[in-house]
C-alpha cells in the first residue's frame, strides 16, 4: 500500500526533535525520507535513554521508515553526492543555525540553481532573520520569549516546565509539515519551489491563540491563574482522597450541572459562569472538598457513566491500556533489523485509504549508504573510493 505522500522524496539533514518528528509524520504518510547523517558527529537522540536492545527508544521511533546515508559534508565528494540526490529528491529539510548550510555549499540559492523545483525547509529556534537568529535555545526558551510561560503555571510557584516539547513539536514540527505541504501544492501550479523559514519561537507565539487575541485587541495582559482556562476558574485539576487527580472541564451549564449533581452539590452549578474571581476560587475550594471525599476509582466510576467533561489523569501506562486509545490503534509494532518488533506510537492520522505498514525502526548511521549510492549509479569501486576518502561511512 502507498500512502498519500508517496510521490514525495525528501532529504532530511535534521537532528534532535523538531525536524525528525516532522519527517516522521511525512514518512508515515508514505513519503520517501532519506536521512543525511554525519559519520563523525553523534546525534543526541541516538544515545538518549531509555534503550531497547541497545537502541535509543526515541531514535528508533522518530526515525522509523527512513533510510540513512552517512556523509561527511565537509568533503567535496560528499557534496557531489548531495547534488546528484537533488535530481529527484526535490524537498530538503534542515535544522542547522542560519548560515551553516551556506558555509557547507548547501544553501538554498546554491541548490535552487541545481533544481528550481526544490522546496527547502529550515527549522530554527528564532528564524533566519532578526537579532536572535544566531542565538542558541531550547524549547523552554522559545516558550518563554513567546509569552506562553508568563501565564502558564501557578500564581504562587511560577511557570511550570511542560512535560512535552510544545515549541519544538507544535511550533517547529507541525508548522514545518504544514508549510512544506503548502509549498508542494503551490509548486504544482507554478513549477517552482521555495525556501520556508520556520521559527519555533514565531510558531510558539502564534499558539497564544486566545490570550494573544485578547491582548492585541483589548489590551488584557494574561496572568497565571487569571484566565478561564489557565486556573483562574474551576476549569482545573482536582485531587482525590488517595492522591490521584481528575481533570474538570465542565464549562457549559449542562456539563456543570451534571458535575455538581454527581458530587451531591447541585447548588454549586449556578456559580460556574460567575465572572468574579473570588467566587471562582470559592467554587474551586468547594469542588476540591467534594473530590477529596472520594477515592480515584470511585470518581472514575462516578464520571465514567455521565457526560460531564470530567476525566482521570492517566499515567502513560494507563493511557496505552485505555479502551479509547486502543480502539484508535495508537500503538503499533515496528520491525527491528533482527526480525523482531518494537512497540511504538502509531501515526495518529486516519485516512480512509489507509497508510502503509511501518517498515522498520530508526536505522543505524549509514545503514543504507551503499544501497542509496548504487541507486544513483555508483559502482562498487566508486563507493569504496568514497569510503577511502572518508566522504561516506
Active-site residue list: 138, 168
Place of cell 559502482: 379
Q: Which cell numbers hold the place of 327? A: 480502539
CA–CA dist 370, 366 (Å, integer): 8
**105 φ/ψ angles, rounded to the nearest 5 degrees:** 85, 20
CA–CA dist 362, 59 (Å, integer): 6
CA–CA dist 37, 158 (Å, integer): 40
Residues 6+ apart with CB under 8 A from 229: 210, 235
Amino acid at each position: 500500500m502507498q500512502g498519500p505522500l508517496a510521490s514525495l522524496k525528501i532529504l532530511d539533514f535534521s537532528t534532535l526533535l523538531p525536524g525528525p518528528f516532522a519527517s516522521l509524520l511525512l514518512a508515515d504518510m508514505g513519503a520517501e525520507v532519506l536521512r543525511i547523517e554525519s559519520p563523525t558527529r553523534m546525534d543526541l537522540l541516538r544515545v538518549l535513554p531509555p534503550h531497547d536492545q541497545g537502541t535509543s527508544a526515541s531514535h528508533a521511533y522518530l526515525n522509523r521508515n527512513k533510510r540513512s546515508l552517512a556523509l561527511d559534508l565537509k568533503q567535496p565528494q560528499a557534496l557531489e553526492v548531495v547534488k546528484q540526490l537533488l535530481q529527484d529528491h526535490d524537498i530538503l529539510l534542515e535544522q542547522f543555525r542560519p548560515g551553516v548550510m551556506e558555509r557547507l555549499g548547501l544553501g538554498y540559492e546554491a541548490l535552487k540553481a541545481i533544481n528550481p523545483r526544490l522546496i527547502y525547509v529550515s527549522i530554527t529556534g528564532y528564524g533566519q532573520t532578526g537579532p536572535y537568529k544566531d542565538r542558541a535555545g531550547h524549547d523552554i526558551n522559545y516558550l518563554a520569549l513567546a509569552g506562553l510561560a508568563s501565564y502558564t503555571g501557578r500564581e504562587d510557584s511560577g511557570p511550570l516546565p511542560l512535560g512535552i516539547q510544545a515549541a519544538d513539536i507544535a511550533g517547529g514540527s507541525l508548522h514545518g509539515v504544514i508549510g512544506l505541504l503548502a509549498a508542494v501544492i503551490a509548486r504544482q501550479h507554478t513549477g517552482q519551489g521555495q525556501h520556508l523559514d520556520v521559527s519555533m519561537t514565531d510558531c510558539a507565539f502564534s499558539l497564544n491563540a486566545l490570550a494573544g487575541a485578547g491582548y492585541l485587541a483589548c489590551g488584557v495582559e494574561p496572568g497565571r491563574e487569571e484566565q478561564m482556562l489557565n486556573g483562574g476558574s474551576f476549569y482545573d485539576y482536582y485531587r482525590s482522597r488517595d492522591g490521584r487527580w481528575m481533570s474538570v472541564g465542565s464549562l457549559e451549564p449542562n456539563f456543570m450541572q451534571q458535575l455538581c449533581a454527581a458530587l451531591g452539590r447541585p447548588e454549586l452549578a449556578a456559580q460556574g459562569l460567575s465572572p468574579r474571581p473570588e467566587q471562582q476560587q470559592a467554587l474551586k475550594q468547594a469542588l476540591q472538598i467534594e473530590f477529596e471525599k472520594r477515592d480515584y476509582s470511585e470518581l472514575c466510576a462516578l464520571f465514567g457513566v455521565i457526560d460531564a467533561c470530567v476525566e482521570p489523569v492517566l499515567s502513560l501506562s494507563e493511557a496505552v491500556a485505555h479502551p479509547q486509545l486502543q480502539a484508535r490503534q495508537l500503538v503499533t509494532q515496528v520491525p527491528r533489523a533482527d526480525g523482531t518488533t518494537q512497540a511504538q506510537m502509531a501515526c495518529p492520522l486516519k485516512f480512509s485509504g489507509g497508510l502503509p505498514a511501518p517498515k522498520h525502526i530508526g536505522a543505524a548511521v549509514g545503514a543504507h549508504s551503499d544501497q542509496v549510492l548504487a541507486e544513483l549509479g555508483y559502482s562498487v569501486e566508486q563507493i569504496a573510493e568514497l569510503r577511502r576518502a572518508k566522504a561516506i561511512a
